[in-house]
A and B are shown apart, each in its own frame.
Chain A
Amino acid sequence: MKKLRSSAAYRIAFAYSAAIAIGIALLGTIIFWAMHIAFTRQLDAMINDEAQTLLLEYRDEGGELATAIAQREHIGQQGAKLFYAVFEPNGRRALGSLNTTMPQLGMHDIAFVDPSKGLDQARGLAIDLPDHRRLLVAADREWVEQIDRTVLVTFAAGFIAVIGLGIGGALILGGYLRRRLSAIGNAAEAIIGGDIRRRMPTSGRDDEFDRLAMVLNTMLEEIERLLENLRQVSSDVAHDLRSPLTRLRNALEESTLGGVTAAAREQVIAGAIVRVDGILSLFAAILRISEVESGEIRRLFKPVELSALITDLAESYAPAIRETGRSLTWSVEPGLTVKGDRELIAQAVTNLLENAQRHTRPGTDIHISLAYSAKWVRIAVADKGPGVAPADRDRITRRFIRLESSRARAGHGLGLNLVSAIVRLHRGHLGFADNAPGLVAEIELPRNP
């Protein structure tokens, strides 16, 4: 019972069926009274008609009242049975078979003795005759009572049926709601218990519960992705730090051994500083990525003159890239503006340019372009280098991913991950395609974010 009371599902179902039952009871009462009053009126009208007819007959035709009454009592009427009595002014019943005492004038409920049933209720109209006798015409209430009883019994049965159906329905509905909800609850508990791959069950009916479950599942997937990311990053950071720190430690230890010249020691220290700087820049990159991923920088967004920025970057990088034996050309659609962080966009484009030169042979042509469509502006960095296999194109934006082909080269494997984070911050897309030959990296940013 406590389970039923503490369950919102049962409470709602019970309250709902109770409301219907009360409605039925109310409706029954109203109908009962309306019918009761209507039938009583009808009965009164019939008695009145009968009394008037009798009176007219007696007065106009000068007929004998006794004969008329006897005749009527003998024939009997359809519907309600009528009774008659005529009283002397002294109260004695002179005519008619209605066994009762002399009533007041007007319409009343009266009691009489029914020869077959004993004391009974009737509705009667008493009027005074011109000869000071009093005529009573009465109708047995039996007829109205019977209708009343039928109505009452019908509604009582209906009421009981509704209560029964209500309780049954409430139990079924409540049970159903509890089952659906506890399925979600159980899944949540399993997830709390550590089974983060568990998902909310869906029934396939696409109802409210399914939609809730699907939203929760999307949320769980995002959480799982973030968790996985976090786990990956912490193990990668630990892994990536171990080897440079080990080398650093070894170099420093060696320099403390005897027989090392002051010049050599200085060289070791200089090398150590370079290594530490590398480690610090790795941390700076990780922190920058998490800052970008948090999305808080969006509040600092301002309009960025993208055309000017890309031209500027291309002009700044062209000499440096030319120095490495590659070439940089550009084609920039003028006058394009996006809302964002100028420096982050610059960093993203810079990273793409640096990737293009780091992963291609000297002599390679690199081209940067800025174009637009109805909704997007597209920054593309294309090279004629070796390209990236289609299977690897999705992987290269992940943290610390360095394809085997480039593992030997410098870099901490965070560049494209940062680009991807920056592009997501600007609600854009980052894609890689075949430049046949080579790779084209495309950043799409919304024109009116």
Chain B
Amino acid sequence: MKILLAEDDIEMAEFVARGLDELGHNVVRVCSGVDALHLATTEPFDLALFDRMIPEMDGLAVLRRLRAAKIETPVLLLTALGRIDDRVEGLEAGADDYLVKPFAFSELAARINALARRAPINAPVTRLECGSLSMDLLRREVRRDGEVIILQPREFRLLQELLRNAERAVTRTMLLERVWGFHFDPQTNIVETHISRMRAKLNEGGKRDLIETIRGVGYRMRQCEEA
């Protein structure tokens, strides 16, 4: 993917760029808002990462200009401000996701993957599948090998989030944000316990575990096409 990174903190920019390079992305780095706006409006990017506080024009202003110009490149805002109203402001300005510094690189990578996957969706998805597992969003029904599995609403939402990002890591914080709407870190392992209950239901009868736990990062739907 071609990714635009607007970040004035050299160390931070190098950390992010190096990590994304290793994942095989092509990163273009700029240090100011004006440069970011110029590049984003003249070249096609698959994704843009904007720091909120960059010189000349802040990330939020760049984002607003882009959206005003109908440029719909997915934008992930990076910020040192973890304030509730800043997050609200960022999302209202048209950001697709919002990540507070400091963050683990795995968190950023997972979110970038999720954004990249989300981009081409135009028609609403009504059905998600992964190997023998299928989810019908209209009938709110989950089947494995044709057999209906009864899930609680939360478990359904969890599985939906994992299936939508099948074969890509989904972090614990992403699940907390998207399934529960929490942007804080509860000390209790509600994500873990829900995953383990859902896993037990999905794997009933000793079937292959479809959900992979990635230590210290989150979860991933295993390869859907069974080898």
* Residues of A in contact with B (beta carbons under 8 Å apart): 280-281, 284, 287-288, 291, 296-297, 299-300, 315-317, 319-321, 323, 341-344, 346-347, 350, 353-354, 357-358, 410-411
Shortest CB-to-CB span from A382 to chain B, Å, is: 18
Interface string of B56-94 (1 = CB under 8 A from A): 000000000000000000000000001111001000000
Closest chain-A Cβ to B172's Cβ sits at a distance in Å of 13
**Residues B197 and A319 in contact, CB atoms below 8 Å apart:** yes
Query: Considering the chains assembled together, what is the distance between the CA atoms of A121 and B152 in angstroms?
Result: 121
For residue A323, which residues in chain B have a CB less than 8 angstroms away from its CB?
Answer: 189, 193
The interface residues of chain B lying within 8 Å CB-to-CB of A354 are 186-188
A353-B181 contact in complex given A315-B154, A320-B193, A341-B84, C-beta closer than 8 Å: no
Q: Is the CB of B181 within 8 A of A319?
A: no
What sequence of 0s and 1s flags, for each residue 175-197 of chain B, a beta carbon within 8 Å of any chain A beta carbon? Answer: 00000111111111110111001
B188 touches A353 (CB 8 A): yes
Q: In the complex the two chains form, what is the Cα distance from A300 to B183 in whole Å?
A: 15
In the complex, which of the residues B182, B185, B194 contacts A319, with contact meaning CB atoms closer than 8 Å? B194
Report the bound CA distance from A407 to B192 in whole Å. Answer: 26
Please classify the interface of chain B as helix (H, G, I), strand (E, B), loop, or mixed, using the class held by over half of its residues: loop
Contact of A316 among B85, B183, B190 (CB under 8 A): B190
Could you tell me the distance between the alpha carbons of A287 and B181 in the complex, rounded to whole angstroms?
20
* CB atoms of B88 and A288 under 8 A apart: no
Contacts of B124 in A (CB 8 A): none
How many A-B contacts are there with CB distance less than 8 Å? 62
Known contacts A300-B88, A315-B154; A284 and B82 CB within 8 A of each other:
yes
Q: Give the CA-CA distance A291 to B84 in the complex, in Å.
A: 8
Least distance between B65 CB and chain A CB atoms (Å):
25
B102 / chain A contacts, CB cutoff of 8 Å: 280
Which 5 pairs from chain A and chain B are nearest by CB?
A320-B193, A319-B193, A350-B186, A320-B188, A347-B184
Residues of B near A343 (CB, < 8 A) are 84, 181-184
Q: Is the CB of A296 within 8 A of B85?
A: yes
Q: Which residues of the partner chain A approach B190 to less than 8 Å between Cβ atoms?
A: 316-317, 319-320
Give bound CA distance, A320 to B180, whole Å.
15
16 contacts between A and B (CB under 8 A): A297-B84, A315-B154, A316-B180, A317-B188, A317-B190, A319-B194, A319-B197, A320-B188, A320-B189, A320-B193, A342-B181, A343-B182, A343-B183, A350-B184, A350-B186, A410-B187
**Chain A contacts for B181, CB-based, 8 A:** 342-343, 346
Complex CA gap A396/B184 in Å reads 22
Q: Given A280-B102, A316-B154, check contact A300 B188 (CB 8 Å).
A: no
Most buried by B among A315, A347, A350: A350
**Distance, CA A291 to CA B152, complexed state (A):** 35
> CA A287 – CA B180 in complex, angstroms?
22
> Which residues of B in the span 120-160 have a Cβ within 8 Å of any Cβ on A?
152, 154
A141 to B87, CA, bound (A): 98
Please measure, in the bound complex, the distance between the C-alpha atom of A321 and the C-alpha atom of B186, giving whole angstroms. 13
Q: Which residues of A contact B193 (CB under 8 A)?
A: 319-320, 323
In the complex, the answer to whether B194 meets A316 with C-beta atoms within 8 Å is yes
Chain B residues with CB below 8 A from A281, complex form: 185
Alpha-carbon distance A237/B182, docked complex (angstroms): 26
B189 surroundings in chain A (CB, below 8 A): 320, 323
Kindly state the separation between the CA atoms of A354 and B88 in the bound complex, as whole angstroms: 27
Q: Bound complex: CA of A341 vs CA of B181, how far in Å?
A: 12
- The winner among B88, B180, B187, B189 for most chain A CB atoms within 10 A is B187
A340 → chain B, closest Cβ, in Å? 12
